[in-house]
Amino acid sequence: MKTLLMLILIVALATIGIFFWPTKSCRSCTPSNPDCQYDLMAIKKTDSNLLIHAHVQWIKPSISNLTALAVDHTNRIIVGSMSAIEILDQQGKPLTCISVNEPVRCLATSPQGDIFAGFNDHVEVFDSTGVRKAVWKSPTQKTMLTSIAVSSSNVFVADCANRIVWRFSLAGERTGQIGQKDEDQRKEGFVVPSAFFDVAVAADDSLWVVNPGMHRLEHFTAEGKFLGSWGHFAMDTAGFCGCCNPSNMALTPEGEFITSEKHIVRVKQYDATGQLKGVISGQEDWPDKAVGLDLAVDSNGRILVLDPTADVIRIYTKK
């Protein structure tokens, strides 16, 4: 009788396994799963009909070990590294180099032309010529800054350690925080499994924040009221896959979105409602392990993509 019961249990478990064993479209792909590998190879191949931009230029800064990218209101290019910040003109000619004492984690510029640099736990401000104007206090003892965005009256700083966006005045006074768990609409809060957590300011001074673990972009007022979101997990081109994507995001002058992803490396463009418009650059253009593809868009609509693997800035324009 005992043997019969064991046989029944084994058959039952086997039956459950047939129905619930992960398939090749599963979320948790592994190198030992050949079906999943086949799916990944298919995903890495970009449909040429979706390519809407052309790569037109490489810019090679004089500094190396690049980590962050921004453009200012005159289309000058600001690039950060492990030990410096360099200002270049829009064609890539070096203008000014600023030495710093630690790696630059993120960069942004104000409408007035000041440069805001985020380091591991604090922000420093430089004028348009590279002269240091201020060093801000760290918002908490446990802080890791990953992104910074500046509006006409606020500075927003993403902190992946605390999974929060800090709001500062332009003078460096901490005035609030954005992104706490919302019992009605955002029960998860920000899900940030790695050090990729990006923010951008819209033309109306509202804030967009990447919630990477939820595969979506979330919209807030400057005061932190949740307005909505778009984005979803999917293995197709329109969605975001992996554990936490997109890794980086920027807004165009028209209010459209540029995103970059890691692991399956893609740079894509979405319209103002979050509908996919096309692919700017696919996995074929990048090493498999490329990460940290910081993004910027100038007033002419040029899309700038940081390429840390080659220490260059790639520039794309519409076809």
Q: Which helix (H) or strand (E) holds 270?
A: strand 266-270
Distance CA 45, CA 35 (A): 16
Residue 71 pairs in a beta bridge with 77
pLDDT at 34: 43
> How many other CB atoms are there within 10 angstroms of residue 67's CB atom?
20
Distance CA 119, CA 34 (A): 42
- For 159-209, the pLDDT digits (tens) are 999 999 999 999 999 999 999 887 667 778 999 999 999 999 999 999 999
Largest interatomic CA distance in the chain: 86
Among the listed residues 230, 267, 260, the one whose alpha carbon sits nearest the alpha carbon of residue 245: 260
pLDDT at 44: 79
Q: Please provide the distance, in angstroms rounded to a whole number, between the alpha carbons at the two ends of the chain.
A: 74
C-alpha pair distances (Å), 178 with each of 129, 155, 157: 32, 12, 10
Q: Lay out the sheet containing 303-307: strands in order across.
A: 53-59, 312-318, 303-307, 295-297
pLDDT at 301: 94
Q: Name the DSSP letter for residue 48.
A: G
* The token pair that represents 56 in the structure block: 């037109």
Distance CA 85, CA 87 (A): 7
pLDDT at 45: 86
pLDDT at 39: 61
Homologous superfamily in CATH for domain 50-318: TolB, C-terminal domain (2.120.10.30)
pLDDT at 40: 66
Among the listed residues 249, 275, 278, the one whose alpha carbon sits nearest the alpha carbon of residue 262: 249
pLDDT at 188: 84
Q: Where do runs of H (alpha helix) occur along the chain?
A: 2-20, 34-44
Q: Is the peptide bond before 103 cis (omega within 30 degrees of 0)?
A: no
Q: pLDDT 10s digit of each residue in the chain, 319 long? A: 444 444 434 334 333 333 332 333 333 344 444 444 446 666 778 888 999 998 989 999 999 999 999 999 999 999 999 999 999 999 999 999 999 999 999 999 999 999 999 999 999 999 999 999 999 999 998 999 999 999 999 999 999 999 999 999 999 999 999 998 876 677 789 999 999 999 999 999 999 999 999 999 999 999 999 999 999 999 999 999 999 999 999 999 999 999 999 999 999 999 999 999 999 999 999 998 899 999 999 999 999 999 999 999 999 999 8
Q: Whose structure tokens read 């984690």? A: 105
pLDDT at 43: 73
pLDDT at 184: 67
Question: How big is the chain by its Cα radius of gyration, in Å?
Answer: 22
pLDDT at 3: 44
Residue 245 pairs in a beta bridge with none
Coil, strand or helix: which one is 285? helix
